[in-house]
Amino acid sequence: MKRSRINEIMSEADEMIRHYGFVLPPFAKWSPDEFVTHKDAARHVIEAQCGWDITDYGDGRFDEMGLFLFTLRNGMLADLQRGGGMCYAEKLLISRQDQLSPMHTHVIKAEDIINRGGATLVVELYGSDDAGDFAEDRGGVVMCDGIKKAFAPGEKLQFAPGESVTLMPGDWHAFWGEGGDVLIGEVSTVNDDRTDNIFRAPIGRFAEIEEDVAPTHLLVSDYEAWLG
């Protein structure tokens, strides 16, 4: 992805987020130089990979297959392993109309996916085999706003604004916006996007960046290069 396009997506996303009554935290506004200045105080933000995250899954077709994310808060795996402390994470996502977030599951993370506003959120679901791998002939059971819902393999559940689904490790899922763009909330256990996204297809989690202009804000995938 070109950096200029990433900068545009950030601006468009911030406008949509504000439209639905949410405001990003102060560090979202930092320029790269401001982030460098504050990097010691912001060590948790960096280590927990909070912040801007825009991906085309390395495929180069963001409008067809991609996702906007902003990690608002995130605990550390060490807290989760010892069963105490900050064991949770929260994100805002934007799934554009017909923009696929491809089939994947998680090993550790359980998550609530919440339609916070906009059009209809469609979530396609499959179950796992006994080894936890994708099983095209297995369905399962999820919770929709606290109510059990059995799903058939490949069933596409629809969620209007205010509705949600709880996904557990081993629930294979893909999602997209139908009829327009969707602002999504995600509340989960500790999130590690570098190791806990298992995709059905051999794709990458992060975009490869073409630096045609300077970044407006850093992506979480920029932190290592810029901040150490």
Q: Do 152 and 223 meet the contact criterion of CB atoms below 8 Å apart?
A: no
Query: Closest Cα to residue 166, out of 183, 149, 178?
Result: 149
Structure-token pair, residue 10: 């950030």
Number of domains in the chain: 1
State pLDDT tens for residues 29-63: 999 999 999 999 999 999 999 999 999 998 899 99
Whole-model pTM? Answer: 0.95
Distance of CA 97 to the CA centre of its chain: 16
- Helix, strand or coil, per DSSP, at residue 164: strand
Q: Do 40 and 226 meet the contact criterion of CB atoms below 8 Å apart?
A: no
Beta bridge partners of 210: 2
Q: Do 22 and 31 meet the contact criterion of CB atoms below 8 Å apart?
A: no
State pLDDT tens for residues 144-180: 999 999 999 999 999 999 999 999 999 999 999 999 9
Domain, as residue range, for 104 = 3-227
What mean pLDDT is predicted for residues 67-85? 95
Confidence band for 85, pLDDT divided at 50, 70 and 90: very high
d(CA 192, CA 74): 9
> What is the domain-level CATH number for residue 151?
2.60.120.10
What's the chain's average pLDDT? 96
- Predicted local confidence at residue 68, as pLDDT: 98
